[in-house]
Structure 1
Amino acid sequence: MKLLVTGFDPFGGEKINPALEAVRGLADSIKGAEIKKLEIPTVFGKSAEVVRAAIEEFHPDVVLNVGQAGGRFAMTPERVAINVDDARIPDNEGNQPIDEAIQEQGKAAYFTQLPVKAIATAIKAAGIPGAVSNTAGTFVCNHIMYQVQYLIDTQYPAIKGGFIHVPFIPEQVVDKSNLPFMNLTDITKGLTAAIEAIVAFEGKEDLKEIGGAIY
């Protein structure tokens, strides 16, 4: 199995992005799966172009995008991506689309093909907070998850795609009051556990257990 794992560059005034640093810390092989690590820009449109080029070069079985979600306590595999860009802040090139479709011919939403319940369970089994998320937001994280799903739907039906959000790391919250954080080594450990679950559940149904949310 081959996995393309991406992490965004820093954005929103931050000097570091824990998603990118955690991806960089992954081993080159996990449970026999080859891992290709890729930095992508926090830019609408361009992020998808970079990932598409990597897909064409690497021919992965799985594309796993990883992004920062400051304010979350846990590592959160995303269940769904929606067809809307609605940027609260500009991206790294100053783009700020408001209520725009990501793909005019795309579906309203796409669900991940990855076993989100198994991933969350594996993260927790590694001693790290993990939970299924039902919203990837409307910034570049949701954008890239949706774009990958659109490519799967229209061009690469054999590929599976998904997204995991990770919390801030300690140095990002020094001047931010009451925000949760997680050590970078634990985030990388959690990503490793997530990838192990992806490999283990290849060709299998996801776990069917409680993981829903009231809001």
Structure 2
Amino acid sequence: MPAQVEPSKKTVLVTGFGPFGVYKVNTSWEAVKELYKQGLGVDWELVIEEIPVEYCTVKSKVPKLWEKHNPHLVVHVGVSGMASELTLEQKAFNYGYEKSDVKGCLPDANCCVHGADECITAGIKMNIVCADINNSDSKVKAVVSHDAGRYLCDFSYFTSLHINKHRTAFIHVPPLDQPYTVQELAEGLKVAITAMLKQIEEKLQ
């Protein structure tokens, strides 16, 4: 009797950002690394990647990551000093990038993807994800946002939404220990990603 072949696992790609400004250690990358330690369960292949806070790197690297991993879901994670909960971003904008990156550079014409729509809304319903988080046993609470700011977070989000808006998400995390530990942030990310995958899977049925 021939041996049964296990179906290949579907990939979830999660990115965090490198240092910038006052964030010499970027909470987003620390939380993503901790998430990798915790894992997403046996059914999912978790791939993580640190992305420098550079427009040109995001513009070239993010599409290559999609091509390389063919992910079932991409979740970009960034830090926000204004956040006190997991902040689930519902959409991203194509124009208005007037703040220089860590190399002092700006994108051409302050634009993310030339010729693309001014705004893209994610196919994943963040209000449902938010409710799933807030109704879970996680210590971390969540809110929904409709403006990720015009910096690398929004820039990376739009880049991925332009590739596939139904399999892309962005989550802002608060700075470390304000109020959550890195372990708590990772647990919150895990709940959020599980909720997102549930939505994607339900649409495929």
Q: TM-score, normalised by structure 2?
A: 0.84
Q: How many percent identity over aligned positions?
A: 25
For 2:196, the equivalent position in structure 1 comes to 198
Q: Which amino acid aligns with 2:160?
A: V
Q: Within 1, Cα distance between the matches of 2:76 and 2:56?
A: 15
**CA contact 1:66–1:164 (8 Å) conserved in 2:** yes
**CA contact 1:87–1:98 (8 Å) conserved in 2:** no
Aligned length: 190
**CA contact 1:64–1:161 (8 Å) conserved in 2:** yes
For 2:141, the equivalent position in structure 1 comes to 129
Q: Within 2, Cα distance between the matches of 1:54 and 1:28?
A: 20
Secondary structure class of the residue paired with 1:11: coil
For 2:73, the equivalent position in structure 1 comes to 62
For 2:172, the equivalent position in structure 1 comes to 165
For 2:184, the equivalent position in structure 1 comes to 186
For 2:103, the equivalent position in structure 1 comes to 93
**CA contact 2:98–2:110 (8 Å) conserved in 1:** no
Q: Within 1, Cα distance between the matches of 2:187 and 2:107?
A: 34
The correspondence of residues 47-58 of structure 1 with structure 2, limited to 5 A, is 47-58=58-69
Q: Which amino acid aligns with 2:26?
A: N
**CA contact 1:75–1:130 (8 Å) conserved in 2:** yes
**CA contact 2:62–2:159 (8 Å) conserved in 1:** no
Secondary structure class of the residue paired with 1:23: helix
**CA contact 1:86–1:98 (8 Å) conserved in 2:** no
Match of 1:146 among 145, 150, 158: 158
Q: Unmatched 5+ residue regions in structure 2?
A: 1-9
Secondary structure class of the residue paired with 1:25: helix
Deviation at 1:97, TM superposition (A): 5.3
Deviation at 1:12, TM superposition (A): 1.1
Q: Which amino acid aligns with 2:112?
A: I
Q: Within 2, Cα distance between the matches of 1:138 and 1:87?
A: 7
Deviation at 1:203, TM superposition (A): 3.8
Deviation at 1:83, TM superposition (A): 0.9
Higher helix share: 2
Change in CA separation of 1:59 and 1:49 when aligned onto 2, cut-off 3 Å: same
Which segment drifts farther, 114-123 or 70-79? 114-123
Secondary structure class of the residue paired with 1:95: coil
**CA contact 1:30–1:195 (8 Å) conserved in 2:** no
Q: Within 1, Cα distance between the matches of 2:108 and 2:56?
A: 14
Which segment drifts farther, 44-53 or 5-14? 44-53
Q: Which amino acid aligns with 2:147?
A: T
Q: Unmatched 5+ residue regions in structure 1?
A: 154-158, 171-179, 206-215
Instruction: Indicate the RMSD between aligned Cα atoms, in angstroms.
Output: 2.0
Deviation at 1:48, TM superposition (A): 2.9
The structure with more radius of gyration: 2
Q: Within 1, Cα distance between the matches of 2:159 and 2:63?
A: 9
Match of 2:33 among 24, 33, 36: 24
Which segment drifts farther, 75-84 or 96-105? 96-105
**CA contact 1:72–1:166 (8 Å) conserved in 2:** yes
Q: TM-score, normalised by structure 1?
A: 0.80
Secondary structure class of the residue paired with 2:92: strand
